[in-house]
Structures are given as structure tokens and as C-alpha cells.
Structure 1
Amino acid sequence: MIEESIKDNYNNMSKGQRKIADFIMDHMETAPFLTAAKLGDSCGTSESTVVRFAMMLGFDGYADFQQELADQVKTKLTNKAEIKTSHYRENKNDILKGVLVADAQNIVDTIHLVDESAYERALELIKKARHVYIVGIRTCAPLASYLGFYLNMIRQDVKVINSMNISEIYEQLFWLNSEDVLIGISFPRYSMRTLKAMEYGSEKKACLISITDSEYSPMNMYSSCNLWAKSDMVTIADSLVAPMSIINALVVGLYIKNEDEVKKNLGKMENLWNDLQTYSGDEMTDGG
């Protein structure tokens, strides 16, 4: 185990290597997503020091160390889920209330976690953007879709990136530029495709907004506007209640900032929905 190896070798490490060791021990779930250069920057050391650190622990290079660390984090998260599963298995009568209480606690924790100034900045960036792109992969895809659905009611030129293929994601982001906003949504275990999309957005000088779990998330490497929400998993399922609340707050905030225009849009949409009999009451007519 890398943690044990770090502890065994800590007294023999240089000052720079100890900085790396301390960072990894404190940010075990984030570290696997950092390149050697990024890890060095985060610790205030050089890329070469990071490589030497990995080799001192017995690895051929940083790539091997990074892969082993990722595997161990994956196992750790799986074990956490199994522990919670065991609890609910032994207390079957507590499952419903237990999950609801856990989700409610995530929202309470998020109230203390989220940065209100970042929230206000996100509203302004989305409002002023030429185009808004949203990327959320795997379990975060429903969050991206939900946000995209409501943003399309509020403003034009909103695009949800809906591909698992990294080359297709780049293709859908091809016209991204400094006048646009890219919103990335990712929670542990962080999607590498989402991180790549954010990296691409950074290279294109777009305004980046991340919706993620904490200040230690690798999403923060690319975004200067970060909205944090607790997402502690309940057994095998990620808790996305608090992230959904953050998204609802964005939608409501944007509505308030542009209320008159949004009301006009909703009025036009309501007429369209009636014409198309979109909802269950629309097909009812007098006399049946």
C-alpha cells in the first residue's frame, strides 16, 4: 500500500518529498488525477522532485505510481460503499429514513460549504456568455441534462455535451472560445473525460464553472468559479441531492436576474406545449 510505504519512508525523505507525501496523504482521492507537474505545483515543488519521490517508493516512474494510487483509491471507495451496504443490510427497517437523513445532511453540509461569491459570479458568467456548454458524464449526466433543460428556457445557445467518446466531446466543443462558458459537473470518482473537457476549455480561454464536491477536487485545477456540494455516496449510489440543489439555485437565480424576458419565453413555450399536447391536460377538450 502506498500509504504504508509513505509512512515507512517518511523520515528518510527530503523536505520537498515530505511536502508531496503530506499532500498525497491529505488528498488521496484527488492526487491520482494530477500530472507530475500539477502535483509539484500543488506542493510547491518541481516535477522532477515528484518523479524522484515515486521512484524512491519503488516505482519505475510517476506513471506507474499514479496508476497504483488510482487503483488503491478505487478499492477504498468500493470498500466504503460496502461498509454502508452492510449497515443497511443489518438494519433493513432503517433504509428509507436512513437514506433520506443522509441526503438531508448533505444539503446542510453544502449550505456551509458553498461559496456565495462564486455562486453570484457563476450567475453573471452564464447570463453574459455567448454560448453555454454543459458537460457531465456517467452519473453526472442527469445533472447536466437537467441544468441544460432549464437553461434552454431562460436563454438561447445552450448545449449539453452528450458523448462518452473524448474525441466527440472535443468535436462538440470545437467552437468554444473566450466569450463562452463551459460548466463541468463531476464528483468522486471523477470522470477523466470531464476533466479533459475542462482542460480543453482552459486551453480555449473559455470561462469555466465547476460543480464538484470540495476544494480538493481536480476540477478546480481548471475552473476559477467553483460551486461545491457534498455528495457522500449511499452504498453503491452517489448522493446527488445537494448538487441538484446547487443547480436549482442557479436556475432560480438566473430567472430572477432576467425575470421579464424569461416570462415571455415561458409564455411562448406554454403556447407551443398546448399546441403539441405535450402534457396530460393539454388534450382535454370541452364535451370530452
Structure 2
Amino acid sequence: MDINNQPDLMRLIQIKFPRLSKGQKLIAEYILKYYDKAAFMTAAKLGVSVGVSESTVVRFAIELGFSGYPKLQKALQELIKNKLTTVQRLELSNDYISEENALKGVLKADIENIRATLEKINHKTFEEVVNNIFSAKRIYIIGLRSSSALSEFLGFYLNLILENVNVVGNGISDIFEQMINLGKGDLVIGIGFPRYAVKTINALAFAQSRGAKVVAITDSLLSPLAAKSDYTLIAQSNMASFVDSLVAPLSVINALIIAVGMREKDKISATFNNLEEIWKEYNVYSSSKSLYEER
């Protein structure tokens, strides 16, 4: 079963319920009632919680049309990730990340996010986005709340390469006031991950209404940002406790910056030579030599 095209999972379980075995019905009842907890349980742990064997849990997943329990678990996580509050995330994380294994657990999860992103991202779309960056009259980048770090990072480096980049953010003026001159020929890059910021979604809808091209950097083609975009770059961002994992999105943004920079090598070289002189004159960066001399 493709979780991106499946009917509502809860409805599917209800439809299948009469034909399930006694043990499978116990699993179905548990998931319908505690799907937020079940989404982060292994097959063995779910079996213990319900009072059935691990193999019964696996057969239950297959009965629903999944190739195995991991696919069912993924579908449950997709179902809930946009609905969980930060407090609920924190409570659920206790089931799979403890204080003792936080470092190892989070790093392994981030490695998996990058691996999954490499598999999911469309390379042709990536190249089309790079082409649109160069053909745009003006570029607007918007990413709010936790995604603001990503938008600022992308904006900082694109501003060193190009001269038409604007980072839209929460400030004195409203986001729509910052995009008032948006129109055809412009490009808007929207960045957002669960829980999606409503203002970012509205900004992309506004961009579409003005005839601008829209790029979404988000976690899924089912994302509300993807629904408002012409191009979507998928970067996996599974939650790690109350913190959104932004490692894979940042890696995709790094790749965008490098791809743009490689086409403007001469300009970048001149820009950084100029910057080095400014940094040196105004002591922007510390120097190990000057620190030694101060001693």
C-alpha cells in the first residue's frame, strides 16, 4: 500500500474490523483509541500493550494491505505528525529516546533522514529550481518559526551570490507588506515542516495569485506548502522529541547554494576577495596571530 495514496487510515481499520481475527481486533481497537502512542511503538511493544504476539501485529498490518508493520507504523506517523502539540511530542519521545541514548538516538535518526531524503528528492526538480533562481527577477524566501533559521541561512548565502534576494520574516511590517511588489517573473521559496506555519502557507497562496513561481522545501508532497507550489523539494524531517529535525532540509539548502554558486564562480571569487578585505579591516573574525600577540 502506498501511504501517500491510501484512504483515511482510521476509516480503513473500521472497514476491515469485522473480518479481523480476535487478536487483530484488539490491535485495531487499541490503535483507534491510542494511535498517537501506537505510532512510536515497535511491533513487539504494541503486541505487549495489547496482549497479543508480535506475529499477530505483523499479520494485522498485512491484513490492512501493508507490506509489513514498518509501513503501517509510517502511515500512523504521517497521520499524527501535523496534529501533535509540543507537549505530546515530548511525552511520546520518552518511548524511543531516553536521556542516556539521546546523542546516539538523535544522530542515527538524522542520518536516516538524510538517507531517506536522498532517495525521495527529485533530481530533475532540483535542477529546475536552480534554473528558476537564475531566471527570476526577484527572489523572496519565507520560512517562519523553526524554519526561520533555514530561510535566513539560505538568504544569507544567496545574497552573497545574487543581488535580488529578499528574506521575508516576522518584523515591523507584515509578510504581505514585504511582498507587496511580488508579480510575474518573481520566485518565492517557501520553507515549512510540521507543524506548518499558517502564514507561510498563506504567503505561497498569495504568490500564486500574483503569478509568481513558487518553490516549496517541505517534508512531503501531501504538505500544504506543496499544494501551493510549482516545484517541491522533499526533505525528510521526522520529529525528535519536541525538536524538529532540520538536518536533511539544511543539507538540501546547502546543495542549492552550492549548485547556484558553481554557476557563478567568478562572481563569488570577486565577492569573497572583497569581503576578506572588509573583514580584515574591521576585525570581523578573530585571528590566532592577533590573540597570540595580545598575550
**Distance in 1 between residues matched to 2:205 and 2:185, nearest whole Å:** 17
**Distance in 2 between residues matched to 1:285 and 1:9, nearest whole Å:** 71
TM-score of the aligned structures, taking structure 2 as reference length:
0.69
Structure 2 match to 1:224 = 230
| 2:92 corresponds to which of 83, 88, 92 | 83
**How many angstroms does 1:73 deviate by?**
5.2
Structure 1 match to 2:32 = none
Aligned positions of 1:198-237 closer than 5 A: 198-237=204-243
**CA distances 1:10-49 after superposition (whole Å, capped 9, x unpaired):** 9xxxxxxxxxxxxxxxxxxxxxxxxxxxxxxxxxxxxxxx
1:189 aligns with 2:198: no
| 2:128 corresponds to which of 99, 121, 133 | 121
8 Å contact kept, 1:81–1:233: no
What letter corresponds to residue 139 of structure 1 in structure 2? S
Structure 2 match to 1:111 = 118
CA RMSD of aligned residues (A): 2.9
8 Å contact kept, 2:161–2:268: yes
| 1:249 corresponds to which of 234, 246, 255 | 255
Q: Return the index of the structure with the highest Cα Rg.
A: 2
8 Å contact kept, 1:129–1:180: yes
**How many angstroms does 1:103 deviate by?**
0.4
CA 1:4 to 1:110, structure 2 compared with 1: closer, same or farther past 3 Å?
closer
1:238 aligns with 2:247: no
**How many angstroms does 1:224 deviate by?**
1.2
Structure 2 match to 1:95 = 102
1:88 match: secondary structure: coil
**CA distances 1:200-238 after superposition (whole Å, capped 9, x unpaired):** 000111111110001111111221111000000001000
1:209 match: secondary structure: strand
TM-score of the aligned structures, taking structure 1 as reference length:
0.71
CA 1:256 to 1:75, structure 2 compared with 1: closer, same or farther past 3 Å?
closer
**CA distances 1:47-77 after superposition (whole Å, capped 9, x unpaired):** xxxxxxxxxxxxxxxxxxxxxxx99952488
**How many angstroms does 1:138 deviate by?**
0.2
**Distance in 1 between residues matched to 2:111 and 2:80, nearest whole Å:** 31
Aligned length: 225
Q: Which runs of 5+ in 2 are unaligned?
A: 1-7, 17-78
8 Å contact kept, 1:212–1:228: yes
CA 1:80 to 1:287, structure 2 compared with 1: closer, same or farther past 3 Å?
closer
**Distance in 2 between residues matched to 1:235 and 1:194, nearest whole Å:** 23
What letter corresponds to residue 240 of structure 2 in structure 1? V
**Distance in 1 between residues matched to 2:187 and 2:202, nearest whole Å:** 16
| 1:172 corresponds to which of 158, 165, 178 | 178
Aligned positions of 1:29-178 closer than 5 A: 74-75=83-84, 79=88, 81-89=90-98, 92-163=99-170, 168-178=174-184
What letter corresponds to residue 100 of structure 2 in structure 1? N
**Distance in 2 between residues matched to 1:235 and 1:74, nearest whole Å:** 14
**Distance in 2 between residues matched to 1:206 and 1:280, nearest whole Å:** 42
Greater mean deviation of Cα atoms: 263-272 or 148-157: 263-272
8 Å contact kept, 2:157–2:257: yes
**Distance in 2 between residues matched to 1:113 and 1:259, nearest whole Å:** 29
What letter corresponds to residue 136 of structure 1 in structure 2? G
Q: Which runs of 5+ in 1 are unaligned?
A: 11-69
What letter corresponds to residue 113 of structure 2 in structure 1? N
2:133 match: secondary structure: helix
